[in-house]
Amino acid sequence: MTSLRTYRALVDDWSQRTLAELQRRFDAYASPCRAQIERSLGSVGGEPGAGEEAIRRDLEALQAL
């Protein structure tokens, strides 16, 4: 029974480290994207929602490709 507890502890440790690494990689990739979206929303000035509409148009254009 002790060997099963040890194995479980090892698997738990491995899964926590793996998930933490995936989270770090995701955040590293997503941060520039988030910053670009914030800049895009801020640079479209004028009425509220104008930036969102520009993003929708861009997404539709990408889907049409």
pLDDT (average), residues 39-46: 65
The predicted pLDDT at position 50 comes to: 65
* Domains held by the chain: number: 1
**SS3 annotation, 16-58:** HHHHHHHHHHHHHHHHHHHHHHHHHHHHCCCCCCHHHHHHHHH
Question: Who has greater pLDDT, 49 or 38?
Answer: 38
The predicted pLDDT at position 45 comes to: 54
What percentage of the chain exceeds 70 in pLDDT? 85
Give the residue numbers spanning the domain of 26: 2-64
Per-residue confidence band for 53, with pLDDT thresholds at 50, 70 and 90: confident
> Measured between alpha carbons, how far is residue 41 from residues 11, 13, 35, 54, 60 in Å?
43, 41, 10, 8, 17
* Residue 46: pLDDT over 60: no
